Amino acid sequence: MSGQSQPADITFIGSGIACTATLIQLFRKLLNTEQAGNTRPEITVIEKNREFWKGIPYGSRSSVNALTITCVNDFIYEAERPAFFRWFKENQNDWETYYREHGGITAERWLKNNLPLIAKNDWETVYIPRFIFGWYIHNTIAKLHRQIEEKQLAKINLIHAEAIDARVTGNKHYEVKLEHPDKSISYIISRKLVIATGSAVVKPVDEVNAAQVTYINDIYEPSVPLNIEKVKDALTQTDWVENRNVLIIGSNASSIELLYLLEGLPQVNGLINNLVLISPSGALPYHISTETLDEHPTPSLKALQNKGSYNLKTLVDAAAADLQPAIKNGANVAYIATVIGNTLKLMEALGDDAKKEFFGIHGMRLSNMFRRSGPEYKAGSQQLADVRKVSFIKGKFIQMQTRNEGVVLRYEEVSSGTEKTYPLTFKAVINCSGSDNLDRSASPLIYNLVHKKLAAMNLSGKGFEVNEHFEAAPNLYIMGPLLGGNMNKLIHFWHLENASRLMYLAPYLANELLKD
C-alpha cells in the first residue's frame, strides 16, 4: 500500500502539454497570491516516460523535423503569444544552431524558406519545428517550478512510473496503482486526480510474424527516429529490391508527417521500392489553401434555414454538402469556419440532446472531411509521389498474411465492397490508423477506469464524459485529448489535439484544482 503519511492534494497522471499548460497556470496563480503556510498544496506528477513536461509531440519521441500542423499564430493561444514570441526571438541562436546540427537537409531547407518570414514576423505562414515549442514549454514550467519551491508555495513530487489502476478509498480519495520501470508496484493517494495521459493509445491492427516483417504499431514508441531506423534496417536486409516495400495503414496527420520525414532522408527513401498507404479515404490531408474568396456561400444550410424545419441528420448532411466547395482547391480555413459557424447557429434550435450528439459523433465526421496540413508536409509527400514512390489504396484494412518474403495485404475495396489482395510483398508495416474506443483501450489505466465505472465514455467513444468543471466523477478530472466529444457550458469540442485549445482551457482547470 501507499507509504505516504498524507495524501497528495493534486495528482496528475501524464506530464505532456495538457498537464504542463495546467500547471503553468496553477503556478502563476500561486505566485500571484503568494499564500504559503497552511495553504501549501502537495502536487504529484506521474509520467511513464523519463522525459517530463513535453509529451510525445514536443519531445524526444518525435522527430526534430516534425512541424506544427497549423501556422504559429493558430498554434499558440492568443494570450500566450507575446511570451512565446519574445522567448522565440531571444533564444533563436540556440534553437537555430541545434536544428542545423540535428535536422539534416530537411532543416536546411526549412531554415532557408522560413528565416526570412520569421525576420518579418510573418507568423501566418510559418509552421515551426515542434521541438522549439517543447523547449519553450519546458523552460516556462522549469522557471515557475523553481520560483514555487523557493517561495515554498507548493511541494512538487515527480514520479517516473506508469499508472495502471485507480480506485476510490473509503474517505473518497483516489488510490493510484503504479508500475515502476523495474516492474515493482507502489501506490499513492490523492484528494484530486487529473487524467492527462494524452491521446488514446493506438489500436493494434493485426497479429504479425516478427520474423517475416518489421511491424511498428505506434510510430512514436519508443521514438520516431528509432522506428525509421528499424525500417531502414529491414529494407537493407532485404536482398530483392522488388520486396523492399513499406505499408502504412491510415492516412492521417501522422501519415503525412512520416512521408515528410522520409522524403528528407535519402538514405532511407532511396531503399524503398514502393510505399503504399491504405485508408477508407485513400488520400492524405488537404494542403491549406491561401486563396482569398470574396464570399463563402452555404446554399444547403441556407435552404434549411429558409425552410425552418430540419433535424440533426439533415443539418449534418447540409453542412457536409457546403463543405465540398470549401475543400475543392485545398482546405480554405476561412470558408470552412463559415460553414461550421453557420451549422452551429442552426443547431441552437435543436436542443441540448442534438448538440451533445453533434459534438460526440458528427463533429468528427465533418472534421475528417477537411483534414489539413501545412505546405511543407504537402510538398514532402508530393516529392515522393512525383518519383512514383507512393501509392494510395481507398480501402479498409482486413489483415496481413504471412509469406516467406514478408507479408501481403488483404483489404476491402471501398468502391465495390469486394475483398482483394494487394500485389506486393511488404517488409515493413507502420500502423497510423488511430486509437481504439476507451472501453477497448490498450492502456491499463483507461481500460480500468471505464470497466470499473469510475468514469464513463462520452458518445465519441474516444473521450470521457465530463461536466463544466472537468469532472468525470467527484474530484476526478480529465484534461487533454480525452476531453474530446464533450458539450457543456465550458467544454464544447469534438477533438482536442490542439495545443491552443488546451492552453485556453488550462486556467479554468487550474481554478478548479485550487478550490477547497
pLDDT in tens, 103-155: 999 999 999 999 999 999 999 999 999 999 999 999 999 999 999 999 999 99
Contacts of 62 (CB under 8 A, 6+ apart): 56, 130, 131, 220, 223, 224
Residue 414: φ, ψ to 5°: -65, -45
Domain boundary among 370, 391, 413: 370
Question: How far apart, in whole angstroms, are the C-alpha atoms of residue 253 and residue 505?
Answer: 23
Of residues 377, 370, 336, 334, the one with CA closest to residue 128: 377
pLDDT at 89 over 50: yes
Per-residue pLDDT reduced to its tens digit, 296-337: 999 999 999 999 999 999 999 999 999 999 999 899 999 999
- The grid cell for 192 is 484530486
| Residue entry with cell 538514405 | 267
Kindly report, residue by residue over 397-422, the tens digit of the pLDDT: 999 999 988 999 999 999 999 999 99
pLDDT of res. 206: 76
pLDDT of res. 35: 56
Q: Are 14 and 47 in contact (CB under 8 A)?
A: yes
- Residue 361 pLDDT greater than 50, yes or no: yes
Same-domain status, 261 and 398:
yes
Give the DSSP letter string of 459-495.
TTSSSB---TTSEEETTEEE-SGGGTTEESSS-EES-
Rounded distance, CA 499 to CA 130, Å?
A: 11
pLDDT of residue 1: 43
pLDDT band at 36 (very low <50, low <70, confident <90, very high): very low
Q: How do residues 264-298 score in pLDDT, each as one tens digit?
A: 999 999 999 999 999 999 999 998 888 899 999 99
Which residues, at least 6 apart from 417, have a Cβ–Cβ distance to it below 8 Å?
none
> Does residue 32 share a domain with residue 174?
yes
**pLDDT at 4 > cutoff 70:** no
Domain-embedded: residue 207: no
Using the predicted structure, report yes or no on whether residue 208 has a pLDDT greater than 70: yes
What is the C-alpha separation between 47 and 44, in angstroms, rounded? 10
Q: Does 294 map to a domain?
A: no
In a domain, 234, yes or no: yes
Look at residues 431, 387, 388 and name the one whose alpha carbon lies nearest to residue 409: 431
Nearest to 148 by CA among 47, 32, 17, 51: 32
Q: Is residue 123 part of a domain?
A: yes
Q: What are phi and psi of 130, to 5 degrees?
A: -65, -25
Distance of alpha carbon 275 from alpha carbon 284, whole angstroms: 14
C-alpha grid cell, residue 89:
526571438
Does residue 38 lie within any of the structural domains? yes
Query: Do 349 and 393 belong to one domain?
Result: no
User: pLDDT, tens digit, for every residue of 146-191?
Assistant: 999 999 999 999 999 999 999 999 999 999 999 999 999 999 999 9
156 with 38, same domain: the answer is: yes
Residues 316 and 196 in one domain: no
Shared domain check, 108 and 120: yes
Q: Which of 39, 193, 346 lies closest to 354, judged by CA?
A: 346
Backbone dihedral angles phi then psi of residue 355, each to the nearest 5 degrees: -65, -45
Residue 267 and residue 240 in one domain: yes
Rounded CA separation 18/1 (Å):
28
Residues 154 and 183 in one domain: yes
DSSP string, 11-66: EEE--SHHHHHHHHHHHHHHHHH---GGG--EEEEEESSS--SSHHHHSTTS-TT-
Q: Which of 402, 431, 460 is the last residue of a domain?
A: 431
How many domains does the structure of the chain reveal?
4
Is residue 167, in this structure, part of any structural domain at all? yes
The CATH number assigned to the domain holding 378 equals 3.50.50.60
CA distance 179 to 166: 12
Contact 172, 474 (CB under 8 A): yes
My answer on whether 359 and 307 are in the same domain is yes
User: Residue 134 falls within a domain, yes or no?
Assistant: no
Query: What distance in Å separates the CA atoms of residue 212 and residue 429, rounded to the nearest whole number?
Result: 11
Residue-number span of the structural domain to which 446 is assigned: 8-61+149-200+439-514
In-domain check, residue 141: no
- Domain shared by 503 and 463, yes or no: yes
State how far the alpha carbon of 55 is from the alpha carbons of 65, 131, 202, in Å. 16, 11, 15
What is the average pLDDT value for the chain, to the nearest integer? 94
- The four Cα atoms 302, 304, 307, 313 give a dihedral, to 10 degrees, of 180
Length of the chain: 516
**Do residues 444 and 503 both lie within one domain?**
yes
Asked if 281 and 229 sit in the same domain, the reply is yes
pLDDT top residue among 41 and 497: 41
